[in-house]
């Protein structure tokens, strides 16, 4: 069967889709890049924001018409939106044939076969209050371990899941409800997966977890935490760069920063969302730390790893956010010196404490203004951060031709194109060079910078 798979949302969803595509190929299906040529369409969904779900519902409406015309056999919805809505999704969208939650993705080939045979194909995760389903857990472990290391989307980079779920219960966040409780993978399984990826040439590895610094695996009374896992993975031959995302400010121990400092292939990069600079808002969000504690963590990170690049996340317009709260977030961006920040408007998510207990009382136009103001501050801070690298030399893993190549004011030299890549600190770099450099590590000299990009030159 020809299958089109579209992914919305985070890096975890991207990894899920990569693993799912591999499992479907192994089951004899063909993955296609054009929905119009597919017999089945699958959407791996996100529920973190309303817009992501609206996008899926729009796709399902168009697919329903194609299915009614006989141009499509199966429509499936995977991932977080499936778990959040459950079988209500089937009532709203009767054209859907298959539902599969994040914790049941290991069963997808069988579900697809059932749907093709006209049988019900619904696999939802059990509520958090129930014990984990051992069969589903085993299927997920097999899905991770059975990946084809040569089939990653990028020939040099790969994501590796180290844990699933989240136990933090921030009041605005749907993730603990749709991805279930935290479960850390066996360190031996993680290391073996990285080894196979490195043997296949994947030299930049990113360890993934919803709250990756809470990784904790206990066996026979001995506990392995993230810093030790990082050390084990860093020892795998062929791993040239090692990252981990996303970290939560609470429970972040300094041994992780020491590993970043002392292990030569661990990148000096930390994505650590603050969400707000105001203690009052942080309390309502149930973030589990104060502004002072966050500031102290950023200070320790800079002291222990002097060249560290830090990225942040912020939510504007959370219930009850005042102009003073908003100003505190802007001040936090300035103080932290972020490389970049991801800034989002608050939208209530069904099932969360904030949606149940807090009025969405910040007007839409105020949210729009505040997001613009935070982005303007980040533009200023990001420019200052990036300009520190002007006049220096950086190592870049070349990803390929730059998306902005056709907008260059001056054409590159004959035989060259504008390339893009990333540094160890996750800085985007563009420079002219031959296209054959894609996938290579090169040294470039930084000539200029804006708030998001380093502009460089490479001498042949």
User: 3-state DSSP call for residue 45?
Assistant: strand
List, for residues 138-172, the tens digit of each pLDDT value.
Answer: 988 999 999 999 999 999 999 999 999 999 999 99
- Count how many residues are written for the chain: 460
Question: Count of domains in the chain?
Answer: 3
Query: Does the CA dihedral 21-25-31-37 come out positive or negative?
Result: negative
- How would DSSP label each residue in 295-362? HHHHHHHHHHSTT-EEEEEEEES-TT--HHHHHHHHHHHHHHT-SEEEEEE----TTSHHHHHS---S
- Examine the domain organization and report whether 383 and 445 are in the same domain: no
Q: Does 59 fall in a domain?
A: yes
Q: CA-to-CA distance for 44 and 50, rounded, in angstroms?
A: 15
Q: Does 135 fall in a domain?
A: no
- Examine the domain organization and report whether 154 and 289 are in the same domain: yes
Q: Does 134 fall in a domain?
A: no
Nearest-10 Cα torsion for 75, 76, 77, 78: -160
CB–CB of 119/111 below 8 Å? no
- Examine the domain organization and report whether 281 and 361 are in the same domain: yes
95: domain CATH number is: 3.40.50.12160
- Examine the domain organization and report whether 344 and 255 are in the same domain: yes
- Examine the domain organization and report whether 360 and 418 are in the same domain: no
311: domain CATH number is: 3.80.30.20
Domain boundary among 387, 406, 421: 387
List, for residues 165-222, the tens digit of each pLDDT value.
Answer: 999 999 999 999 999 999 999 999 999 999 999 999 999 999 999 999 999 999 889 9
Q: Does 128 fall in a domain?
A: no
Q: CA-to-CA distance for 198 and 272, rounded, in angstroms?
A: 27
Within a 10 A sphere around the Cβ of 101, how many other Cβ atoms? 25
Q: CA-to-CA distance for 54 and 95, rounded, in angstroms?
A: 16
**pLDDT at residue 220, as a whole number:** 87
* pLDDT for 14 beyond 80: yes
- Examine the domain organization and report whether 338 and 207 are in the same domain: yes
**pLDDT at residue 47, as a whole number:** 93
417: domain CATH number is: 2.40.50
- Examine the domain organization and report whether 441 and 363 are in the same domain: no
pLDDT class of 345 with cuts at 50, 70, 90: very high
- Examine the domain organization and report whether 417 and 380 are in the same domain: no
* pLDDT for 408 beyond 80: no
CB–CB of 5/31 below 8 Å? yes
**pLDDT at residue 116, as a whole number:** 93
Q: Does 140 fall in a domain?
A: no
CB–CB of 155/197 below 8 Å? no
CB–CB of 88/143 below 8 Å? no
**pLDDT at residue 167, as a whole number:** 95
**pLDDT at residue 407, as a whole number:** 73
Q: Does 298 fall in a domain?
A: yes
pLDDT class of 130 with cuts at 50, 70, 90: confident
- Residue burial 232-242, b: 16+ Cβ < 10 Å; e: rest: ebbebeebbbb
How does strand 216-219 pair with strand 157-161?
unpaired
**pLDDT at residue 120, as a whole number:** 80
List, for residues 39-57, the tens digit of each pLDDT value.
Answer: 999 999 999 988 899 999 9
- Examine the domain organization and report whether 405 and 368 are in the same domain: no
* pLDDT for 325 beyond 90: yes
**pLDDT at residue 171, as a whole number:** 98
Return the bridge partners of 43, or none: 6, 77
* pLDDT for 410 beyond 90: no
- Examine the domain organization and report whether 400 and 383 are in the same domain: no
**pLDDT at residue 438, as a whole number:** 95
**pLDDT at residue 128, as a whole number:** 87
Q: Does 130 fall in a domain?
A: no
**pLDDT at residue 303, as a whole number:** 98
How does strand 121-123 pair with strand 98-100?
parallel
Mean pLDDT of 75-104: 95
- Examine the domain organization and report whether 397 and 313 are in the same domain: no
CB–CB of 301/356 below 8 Å? no
Q: Does 139 fall in a domain?
A: no
**pLDDT at residue 133, as a whole number:** 84
pLDDT class of 4 with cuts at 50, 70, 90: very high
Domain boundary among 108, 123, 138: 123
- Examine the domain organization and report whether 169 and 115 are in the same domain: no
Share of the chain above pLDDT 70, in %: 100
Q: CA-to-CA distance for 101 and 108, rounded, in angstroms?
A: 10
Within a 10 A sphere around the Cβ of 120, how many other Cβ atoms? 12
**pLDDT at residue 198, as a whole number:** 98
Domain boundary among 372, 387, 402: 387
**pLDDT at residue 426, as a whole number:** 98
Residues spanned by the domain of 437:
393-457
**pLDDT at residue 240, as a whole number:** 98
pLDDT class of 415 with cuts at 50, 70, 90: confident
């Amino acid at each position: 069967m020809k299958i089109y798979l579209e992914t919305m949302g985070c890096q975890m969803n991207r990894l899920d889709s990569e693993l799912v595509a591999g499992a479907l190929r192994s089951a004899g299906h063909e993955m296609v890049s054009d929905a119009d040529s597919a017999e089945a369409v699958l959407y791996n969904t996100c529920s973190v924001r309303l817009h992501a779900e609206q996008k899926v519902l729009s796709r399902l409406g168009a697919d329903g018409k194609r299915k009614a015309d006989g141009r499509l056999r199966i429509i499936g919805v995977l991932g977080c939106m499936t778990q959040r809505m459950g079988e209500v999704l089937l009532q709203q969208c009767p054209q859907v044939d298959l539902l599969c939650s994040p914790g049941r993705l290991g069963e997808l080939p069988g579900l697809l076969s059932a749907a093709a045979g006209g049988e019900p194909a619904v696999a939802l995760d059990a509520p958090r209050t129930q014990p984990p389903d051992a069969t589903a857990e085993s299927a997920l472990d097999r899905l991770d371990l059975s990946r084809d290391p040569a089939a990653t989307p990028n020939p040099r980079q790969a994501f590796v899941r180290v844990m699933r779920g989240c136990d933090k219960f921030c009041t605005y966040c749907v993730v603990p409800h749709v991805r279930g409780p935290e479960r850390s993978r066996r360190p031996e399984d993680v290391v073996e997966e990285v080894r196979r990826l490195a043997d296949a040439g994947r030299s930049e590895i990113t360890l993934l977890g919803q709250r990756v610094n809470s990784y904790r695996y206990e066996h026979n009374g001995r506990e392995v935490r993230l810093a030790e896992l990082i050390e084990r993975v860093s020892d795998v031959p062929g791993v040239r760069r090692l990252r981990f995302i996303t970290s939560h400010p609470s429970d972040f121990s300094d041994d992780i920063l020491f590993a970043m400092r002392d292990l030569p292939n661990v990148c000096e990069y930390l994505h650590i969302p603050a969400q707000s600079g105001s203690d009052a808002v942080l309390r309502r969000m149930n973030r589990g730390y104060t502004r002072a504690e966050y500031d102290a963590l950023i200070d320790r990170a800079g002291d222990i790893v002097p060249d560290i690049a830090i990225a942040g996340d912020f939510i504007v317009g959370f219930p009850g956010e005042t102009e003073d709260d908003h100003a505190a977030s802007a001040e936090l961006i300035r103080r932290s010196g972020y490389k970049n920040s991801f800034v989002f408007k608050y939208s209530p998510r069904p099932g969360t404490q904030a949606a149940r207990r807090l009025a969405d009382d910040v007007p839409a136009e105020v949210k729009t203004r505040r997001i613009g103001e935070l982005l303007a501050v980040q533009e200023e801070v990001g420019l200052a951060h990036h300009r520190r690298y002007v006049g220096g030399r950086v190592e870049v893993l070349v990803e390929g031709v730059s998306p902005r190549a056709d907008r260059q004011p001056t054409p590159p030299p004959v035989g060259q194109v504008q390339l893009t890549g990333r540094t160890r600190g996750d800085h985007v770099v563009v420079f002219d060079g031959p296209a054959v450099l894609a996938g290579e590590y090169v040294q470039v000299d930084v000539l200029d910078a804006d708030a998001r990009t380093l502009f460089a030159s490479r001498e042949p």
